[in-house]
Amino acid sequence: MDILDHLEDLPERSIQQDEEQEAASTAGKHLEPPLVLWNLSLKTRLYPNGVRPKFLIVASSKVACALINHSFGRKEVLFSLVLPEVSMKGNTIQPSLQDRTCTASAVGSSGIMISCQYDVPGERAKAVCTALMDHVQPEQMLVLGSIRSEQYYGPGDASQDAQVFSLFTSETPKPPPGSSHTPPLPTGNTLGGLPAALLSHRQLRHQPCAALVVLEMVPSLSVCGLQPLAQAAADVAQAMGLQEAAIELSAPDSLKSSCRELGAVCGSSLDNAVYT
């Protein structure tokens, strides 16, 4: 008997796949929506007619958060996004890369940076994206995230090589060929989580947005991804016409501070070697 003659009799999906899809599609209905807690005095002063900054940078991985936490010397906390299901127990009073928080900081009235240090699961990504985009409508947007090494398909050793890849909406100006070009995400890889939700949100509305993702390396080598991510972010910001952001993202002193904190959290001693 030839099994090919009976393919039409076989189910196309397994019961487990159907159950997983149904669970994922209804997960958001059983969780409370994210809460946005504003610094009202700052919001009124900077954005009296709606929060429409020139640019928004969202960091959603440990390396990306370390980068923007130390970028831009003059910034003020504008709001915090809280996930009700995530406990705040153990968070520190002073900002720390180890805290489970999502904080938005204003860079004057021109830009906002969001450091999302939550490990946002896929079923909550859309809710977090909606909460952020309902309150902030930027002209330009840059998302910094990561891809787990075990989910990467492409050249190089994903656990050892510092690699950064890019994705753009169709309306986003790309860096010129003469710059240090960041390659696109190789075919066969899928962007997920909060970066994918934000990029899709902007694409569906024909709005400019770029996403840069760094491969998650072994913790002791995480600092090696900081410099490539910073350079790629600076190139994209430059292409978007955000000169001030480009300079701040690649400032040597800020990178050193980011590297020291990331190295301390990840147990790495490579912070000095990265910049020598």
Q: What's 50's domain CATH number?
A: 3.40.50.10900
Q: What angle do CA 97, 260, 211 make, to 5 degrees?
A: 60
Sequence-distant (≥ 6) Cβ neighbours of residue 270 within 8 angstroms: 220, 221, 223, 224, 263
The two tokens of residue 189 are 């890889």
Q: Are 132 and 193 in contact (CB under 8 A)?
A: no
Asked if residue 7 is part of any domain, the answer here is: no
d(CA 189, CA 186): 6
| Full residue range of the structural domain in which residue 159 is found | 30-270
Question: What is the model's pLDDT at position 268?
Answer: 62
Question: What is the model's pLDDT at position 8?
Answer: 55
Which string of DSSP letters, residue by residue, matches the chain?
--GGGGGGGS-SS-HHHHHHHHHHHHGGGGSPPPEEEE-HHHHHHH-TT----SEEEEE-SHHHHHHHHTS-SS-EEEEEEE-TTS--TT--SS--TTS--EEEEEETTTEEEEEE-S---HHHHHHHHHHHHHH---SEEEEEEEEEGGG--SSS-TTTS--EEEEE-TTSPPPPTTS-PPPBPPTT----HHHHHHHHHHHHTT---EEEEEEE--GGGGGGGHHHHHHHHHHHHHHTT-HHHHHHHT-HHHHHHHHHHHHHHHT---TTGGG-
Question: What is the model's pLDDT at position 204?
Answer: 95
d(CA 159, CA 217): 4
Asked if residue 116 is part of any domain, the answer here is: yes
Question: What is the model's pLDDT at position 251?
Answer: 93
d(CA 241, CA 89): 41
d(CA 209, CA 4): 46
Asked if residue 219 is part of any domain, the answer here is: yes
Asked if residue 60 is part of any domain, the answer here is: yes
9-44 burial: b if 16+ Cβ within 10 Å, else e: eeeeeeeeeeeeeeeeeeeeeeeeebebeebeeebe
Which parts of the chain have pLDDT scores under 50?
3-4, 7, 10, 271-276
Asked if residue 4 is part of any domain, the answer here is: no
d(CA 256, CA 182): 22
pTM: 0.85
- The residue whose two tokens read 């003469």 is 178
d(CA 229, CA 143): 11
Beta-ladder partners of 171: none
- pLDDT tens digits for range 247-274: 999 999 999 999 999 888 887 655 444 4
Asked if residue 90 is part of any domain, the answer here is: yes
Question: What is the model's pLDDT at position 275?
Answer: 47
Number of compact structural domains in the chain: 1
Packing angle of the helix pair 193-204, 122-135 (nearest 10 deg): 50
Length of the chain: 276
Asked if residue 201 is part of any domain, the answer here is: yes
Asked if residue 43 is part of any domain, the answer here is: yes
Question: What is the model's pLDDT at position 156?
Answer: 72
